[in-house]
Structures are given as C-alpha cells and as structure tokens.
C-alpha cells in the first residue's frame, strides 16, 4: 500500500529488539571482576549494543531503507534482524531468535494499534530513537548517525498529511494481521487478553485534534449555533493534555515506544493455539513463493548496506539465551507450532547469476563456525549458507 512504511517498521522493530537484548544481557550480567570467560559482563553488553546500533544506523544501510518500496514478508524482514543481531560477538540460537522476533513484532503491533492518531507512529519512532541514544551516550560517532536518521525521518515524514499517515497505519496493520502471540508481560499488565487480542481501552485522553465524544451542535444557514445537545457515548474520555513534540529533543507525551522491559520482568511468549486464521496463513507459506526472487533482491540490497565489523582475533561467539534455561530453549525449538515457524526463505536456484553472486559475497562476511563445506557450485554454496541462517 504505502511505499513509505519500511523505515518506520524497521526502526521501531529494531528499537524493540534492542530493548529486549539489553534486558536479557542485564539479567545475565555478571560483575566484570567475577565473570568467567564465558559469562556476560557490563562491558560486553555495552559492546553488543554499540555494534548493533552502529550497524543499524549505518549510512549506506539507511539509504537503502529509506528508498520508497513496498513491504516485504515477515520472513524476509526477520532475515535482516537475524543478521543485525549477529553483528557483534553475540550469537542466538534459532529458538531464541524466533522468540526475539515474536516479541518485537507483538510489541510494535501493540504500539501501532494503540496510537491515538496515525501520525503518532512517528512519535513512537522518536521514543525508540530517544532511548537508543541513551544506550550509546558514550559514542559520539554513533550518536551522530542516529541524529542524522532523525533528521531524515523529519524530512520525509514531517510534511505528510493525515491521510498519508492513515495509509501508512493501514499498511502496518496489514503486515501484522492475524498475529496473536500471547506475551506474558502483556497478559499480566492486562493489555492483552487470553485470546491474544489487545485490549482497546475506552477511557483516557482523546487524540490531539479530537473532541471528547458526546456533543451535538446544530447551526443555521449563517453558521450560527442554534442548538446544543449532549448524548451518552459510552466511553470515559477526557481531553488531550498537549501534543507530543516532533523536534529532535522534546516531550513526546506518548508512552508507546518507550522501554517497558526491566531486569525484574522476564518476558515469555506463549504460542497461541492454532486457530482458523492460521490455516489461511499456512497456505501462503507452503505454496511456492513467487516473490522469492524479489525478496532476495531486497535482502541483498539491504544487507549489502550493512557494514559488519568482523571481530578481530579468535574470539568465541557469546551465546545469548532468550529463555531462562538452555533446556527451555531446546524445548521451545521442538514445540514451536508448524504454522508459526519462520522458515528460511524457500528459494529455487535463482536465475539471476549476478544477484546470487552478490548475495554469496555478503553471506561470505558471515562468520561460519563449522568446517568448510564441500560444494560443487556457487549456487549450492549460497543455498547451503541460507539454510544456515
């Protein structure tokens, strides 16, 4: 629908990813002097966040992101985040990556749904950026990158009309349609029901620019008010206090998009039992994907812009577990419902030789920890590497 949606989607999901990783790393934090070689320290945590944030806001990458384009599938986008999450010394197993992506998507879906005005999704984005800046306070170069992205957002979205924001909102909601993963933190806070649907409150401040419902005004031909009636509208609304700021610094007023995770709140997801809706989604997953080639192009472009710094020296990859124990992580991998699996993009051998070579080059920058594989052709290499993701 709207071709301006991807930057907002990507930055907000990325923001949620950083919140979650930050929380998990803090939970698994061991004071530096007491840590064993394989345990996370505060220094490690900062380094992981720095690496991911600097990759995310890399200029070349942002350039690709901001080009007008349609949204690709959730699977394609997940591949980009997986790459991003591995932009540092941190490693994630499939199950943890799945859980991370589930949490990210449900959190942003919640934020989009509850945005009072369509334009407020920009404030949500700014909330994410504000917090991201807090993570990298000590790195002026990266701070500058983030500010530059801020400037770009303002340039592109600052002048859009309410109608264009409505289209963006509809595009985002279509992307998130039928996702009903239950998140224990949302359930506990009563923002999500047991059936996976979010609670839409009928009280609180109305959006900026909307009047509190309940009044009917009637006018004559000259535009003078001649009658006023009140009616019972059913909600419990109050006027909006003030408008959030769209400046580089300012009070956003809106809380959506701020960091709701804290060290003391372990975040679990429950796989929602299969429902009728998912039947139609499984259908889409199984059928051969005619967009696979386009999605590969998209991935190649986007990830080609990521400048991943290869860790120097023989450093081991630190594994981060998004579950409480390793056993839990294994169990989650085994019991993930079929229809909710984010299978690797299923590609037929791509006809586009140049594209596959380019992707192979990008993939080559991945640190592959296993023994070198015997391959007969570049195409096989590419497929094998994709399978590894």
Partner 1 sequence: MVAVDLEGPYEPRVRRADLGATGVTSDLGRGLQGSEPRMFRWERSIPLRGSAAALCNNLSVLQLPARNLTYFGVVHGPSAQLLSAAPEGVPLAQRQLHAKEGAGVSPPLITQVHWCVLPFRVLLVLTSHRGIQMYESNGYTMVYWHALDSGDASPVQAVFARGIAASGHFICVGTWSGRVLVFDIPAKGPNIVLSEELAGHQTPITDIATEPAQGQDCVADMVTADDSGLLCVWRSGPEFTLLTRIPGFGVPCPSVQLWQGIIAAGYGNGQVHLYEAATGNLHVQINAHARAICALDLAPEVGKLLSAGEDTFVHIWKLSRSPESGYIEVEHCHGECVSDTQLCGARFCDSSGSSFAVTGYDLAEIRRFSSV
**Rule CB under 8 A: is residue 239 a binding residue for partner 1?**
no
Residue 332: what are its φ and ψ, rounded to 5°?
A: -60, -40
**Rule CB under 8 A: is residue 288 a binding residue for partner 1?**
no
**Rule CB under 8 A: is residue 215 a binding residue for partner 1?**
yes
* 195: its two tokens: 């059936």
**Residue that has been written with the tokens 């340039």 in this structure:** 155
Q: Going along the chain, which residue ranges are E strands?
A: 90-91, 182-183, 203-205, 215-219, 225-230, 236-238, 269-270, 318-319
**Rule CB under 8 A: is residue 158 a binding residue for partner 1?**
no
Three-state SS for 336?
A: coil
The answer to whether the beta carbons of residues 111 and 8 sit under 8 Å apart is no
Phi-psi region of 204 (alpha: psi -120 to 50; beta: other; left: phi over 0): left
The region of 44-52, 190-198, 324-332, 375-383 touching partner 1 under the rule CB under 8 A is: 190-198
Buried b (16+ CB within 10 A) or exposed e, 135-167: bbeebeebbebbeebbeebeeebeebeeeebeb
Of positions 143, 207, 253, 360, contacts partner 1 by CB under 8 A: 207
**Rule CB under 8 A: is residue 180 a binding residue for partner 1?**
yes
What is the greatest pairwise CA distance in the chain?
85
Residue 325 burial (C-beta neighbours within 10 Å; 0-12, 13-18, 19+): exposed
Based on CB atoms, which residue is closest to partner 1, 71 or 386? 71
Per-residue x/- track, 46-85, partner 1 (CB under 8 A): ----------------------x-xxx-------------
Number of residues that bind partner 1 (CB under 8 A): 61
The region of 18-26, 100-108, 211-219, 351-359 touching partner 1 under the rule CB under 8 A is: 211-219
Of positions 237, 318, 323, 342, contacts partner 1 by CB under 8 A: 237
The region of 54-62, 171-179, 260-268, 349-357 touching partner 1 under the rule CB under 8 A is: 171-179
Q: Which spans of this chain sit near partner 1 (rule: CB under 8 A)?
A: 1-4, 68, 70-72, 113, 116, 118, 161-164, 166-167, 169-170, 173-174, 177-178, 180, 193, 197-200, 202, 206-207, 209-221, 223, 226-227, 229, 231-235, 237, 275-277, 280, 291, 294
């Amino acid at each position: 629908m709207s071709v301006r949606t991807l930057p907002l989607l990507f930055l907000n999901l990325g923001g949620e990813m950083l919140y979650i990783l930050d929380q998990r790393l803090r939970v698994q934090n061991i004071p530096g002097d007491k840590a064993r070689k394989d345990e996370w320290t505060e220094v490690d945590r900062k380094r992981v966040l720095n690496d991911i944030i600097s990759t995310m806001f890399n200029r070349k990458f942002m350039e690709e992101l901001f080009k007008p384009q349609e949204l690709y599938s959730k699977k394609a986008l997940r591949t980009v985040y997986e790459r991003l999450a591995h932009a540092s010394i941190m490693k994630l197993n499939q199950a943890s990556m799945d859980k991370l992506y589930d949490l990210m998507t449900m959190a942003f879906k919640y934020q989009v749904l509850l945005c009072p005005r369509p334009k407020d999704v920009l404030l949500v984005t700014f909330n994410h950026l504000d917090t991201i800046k807090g993570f990298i306070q000590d790195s002026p170069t990266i701070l500058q990158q983030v500010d530059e992205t801020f400037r770009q957002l303002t340039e592109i979205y600052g002048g859009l009309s309410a109608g264009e924001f409505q289209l963006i909102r509809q595009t985002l909601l279509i992307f998130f349609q039928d996702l009903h993963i239950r998140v224990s933190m949302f359930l506990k806070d009563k923002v999500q029901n047991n059936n996976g649907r979010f609670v839409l409150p009928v009280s609180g401040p109305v959006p900026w620019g909307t009047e509190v419902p309940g009044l009917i005004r009637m006018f004559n031909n000259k535009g003078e008010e001649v009658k006023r009636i009140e009616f019972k509208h059913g909600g419990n609304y109050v006027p909006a206090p003030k408008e959030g700021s769209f400046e580089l610094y300012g009070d956003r007023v809106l809380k959506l998009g701020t960091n709701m995770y804290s060290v003391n709140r372990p975040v679990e997801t429950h796989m929602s039992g299969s429902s009728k809706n998912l039947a139609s989604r499984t259908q889409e997953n199984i059928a051969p994907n005619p967009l696979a080639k386009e999605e590969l192009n998209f991935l190649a472009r986007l990830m080609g812009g990521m400048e991943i710094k290869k860790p120097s020296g023989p450093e081991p990859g630190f594994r981060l577990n998004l579950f409480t124990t390793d056993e839990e992580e294994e169990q989650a991998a085994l019991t993930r419902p079929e229809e909710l699996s984010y299978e690797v993009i299923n590609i037929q051998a791509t006809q586009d030789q140049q594209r596959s070579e380019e992707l192979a080059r990008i993939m080559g920058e991945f640190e592959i920890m296993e023994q070198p594989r015997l391959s007969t052709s570049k195409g096989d290499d590419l497929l094998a590497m994709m399978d590894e993701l």
